[in-house]
Each structure stands twice: as structure tokens, then as C-alpha cells.
Amino acid sequence: MCQPWTVTKTPVCVVGLGLIGGSVMRAATAAGREVFGYNRSVDGVDAARFDGFDATGHLDEALSRAAATGALIVLAVPVPALPQMLGHIREVAPDCPLTDVTSVKGAVRDAVRAAGLLERFVGGHPMAGTAHSGWIAGSADLFAGAPWVISVDDHVDAAVWTQVMHLALDCRAVVVPARSDEHDAAAATISHLPHLLAEALAATAGEVPLAFALAAGSFRDGTRVAATAPDLVRAMCEANAAQLVPVLEHAMLLLGEARDQLAAGQPVSALVEAGHAARIRYEGYSRPEIIATVVGAEGWRDELAAAGRAGGVIRSALPTRGSPG
């Protein structure tokens, strides 16, 4: 049976030991947490074990251990694999606190609700990554200083939220509280749109003779994420289509105006100046620390959502109502 949720430093059970799950396993272990996990491929399990970590290729074995120890289960598989994983969790470890690292939050919350596990679920999304995949790509330092979104949707339980906050802070991330729909709208803009733009840029250059021979910093930086495994890019863009389509339309409108201006021999100053100004604003963006909220106190979810919207981050654990301190 699971321990009471007031325990904030429970064991951690990572489901999927790829880039992100493998990095959670390394970072949480480095922070002194008991961490164990499941990976589908034998190669991934062997590689994790070789590096001294506690991995198994048997999902039910990992989940039974999670149920017995009250572990926080971290789902670190792509969106299409979630329903199958959630089905096993419902069978074997339905009382365990549950979080995820997926790049979309609304679709995951819907899948968790459909599996009947919403009550114990608090969504998460560490905003860190590389274009590489698998256990070997992971690092204990991947999340250092990175924003880690934790959902403050109406259903979330304060004690589970606190556990997820502790995990993110143990991984040396800074916590950004946000509602799932607001996360998805923002992620469409700063993550999913860049993926599509990078693919378009890479594909365009791929058709121009000499382009690769001349390619330097602009091309390398602008197409970095196009090296990501296509399945992962598809999974995140397709699962967030409702939020991505309007953002994509806006970007196409801006590019269409620039195209028309260039074709008519006019300056493209409107787009270039607006883009430059936004980028400078981003570089000077301040991130005030959230310190005053008590997790579980009246209105705590709205308070944290507003603070996150204003750029606030949690750098050290907030108090939780009813916890010893």
C-alpha cells in the first residue's frame, strides 16, 4: 500500500528511461532519493544497470514495488504509449502519486482522467532536452536551472503537488506553476512552433545546391531541434494541434507579409523590428521568486497560476498546509 502523501521524499519510480526519464533517474539519485525504473528495451535496461542504476524490463515488477513503497511514479514515455502504461498503473499501483514529463499537458490529463487516475495525478513538464534519445543521452545535469512546469489545475491535490515540486527541485530545476491549457498555448509557441519552423528551414536548405556547404551558425542554431527523432516531434505537435494551429497561422501571416513586401521591393522592417524587440525583451525577462504561497491553503492553485503567469518561479520548497514545516 502507498504511504500517506504527506511524505514528500518518497521513492521515485520512473517509467521510461530515455533522455528525460533517464535524466530524472540520474538527477534524483544524485539528490539522495531512492530511484528505480522500468524501460521497454533490454538495451536501455542493461545500459542503466551498467551505469549502476536500478532498472528492470518488467513493468509490473517496477509498479508492484512502487505500490509497496508509496513511490511517486513518473511517466516518461511518449504520448502514444501513455494509455497502455496508465492501464498497468491502474491495475498494479492505483494509489500511488503520479506525474509525467510530457510536452503537452491537456492531452495527458485527458488520458489520465480516462484511466480513472486523475485524483492522484499532477502533470509536469521539464523544459529541458536535447535532440538525442535513449538512456545514453541522459544526464544528471539536464534540468539544472531549467523551468519545470507543474500543473495547478483545479483537480490537483496539494500533497501530490508538493511531492512533484520536491522532485523537480531535487533535479535542480526551478518550478513554474501553470494551468494545463495555458502551458499548452505557451508550449505551442516556444517549443512546437520552433520544431515545425526548424523542419521547414532544414527541408528548404536541403533542396538548395551549395546550401549545406555554406551553412554556419544561423543554420545550425535554427535547425538544431530538427535533429530530434521524428516520432517525438510528431507526438508533441499532433497532441497539441488545437493550440498549435492558431500559433502557426500567426507565424505564417507574419512570414506572408514579409514575402509580399520583399516581392514588392518594400522594406521588411515591421517583422524584423518586432522580432528583434521581442528577443531583447526575452533576454531581459525577470523571474521573481515565489515565496509567499502556502500549498493547500485557500486559493493556492489560482495564486500559483497567477504568479507563474507573471514570470514567477519556485526555487526552494514552498510550505504545505499541514506539513511540519
Q: CA of 189: how far to CAs of 21, 101, 105, 223, 238, in Å?
A: 24, 18, 14, 16, 14
Smallest gap from Cβ 292 to ligand NAD, in A, equals 29
Binding site for ligand NAD (CB under 6 A): 16-21, 39-41, 44, 76-79, 81, 101-103, 126, 129, 133-134, 232, 236
Nearer Cβ to ligand NAD (87/116): 87
Min dist. Cβ of residue 101 to ligand NAD (A): 5
Buried b (16+ CB within 10 A) or exposed e, 254-278: eeeebeeeeeeeeeeeeeeeeeeee
Q: Give 15 or 314: the residue with its C-beta nearer to ligand NAD.
A: 15
By three-state DSSP, how is residue 197 classified?
A: helix
Q: In the bound complex, what is the minimum distance in angstroms from residue 5's beta carbon to ligand NAD?
A: 24
Could you tell me the sign of the dihedral formed by the alpha carbons of 239, 45, 173, 64, in that order? positive
Return the number of other C-beta atoms located less than 10 Å from residue 230's C-beta.
Answer: 9
The runs of H, that is alpha helices, within 149-240 are 158-170, 180-187, 193-206, 211-214, 217-223, 230-239
Closest approach of Cβ 76 to ligand NAD, in Å? 5
CA 182, 74, 126, 161 dihedral sign is: positive
Q: Closer CB to ligand NAD, residue 21 or residue 308?
A: 21
Cβ proximity to ligand NAD, 20 vs 156, nearer residue: 20
CB of 103 to ligand NAD, least distance (A): 4
Please give the Cα distance from 308 to 270 (Å, whole number): 30
Residue nearer to ligand NAD on the CB measure, 229 or 305: 229
Of 77 and 115, nearer to ligand NAD (C-beta) is: 77
Closest approach of ligand NAD to the CB of residue 19, in Å: 4
- Count of Cβ atoms closer than 10 Å to residue 204 Cβ: 11
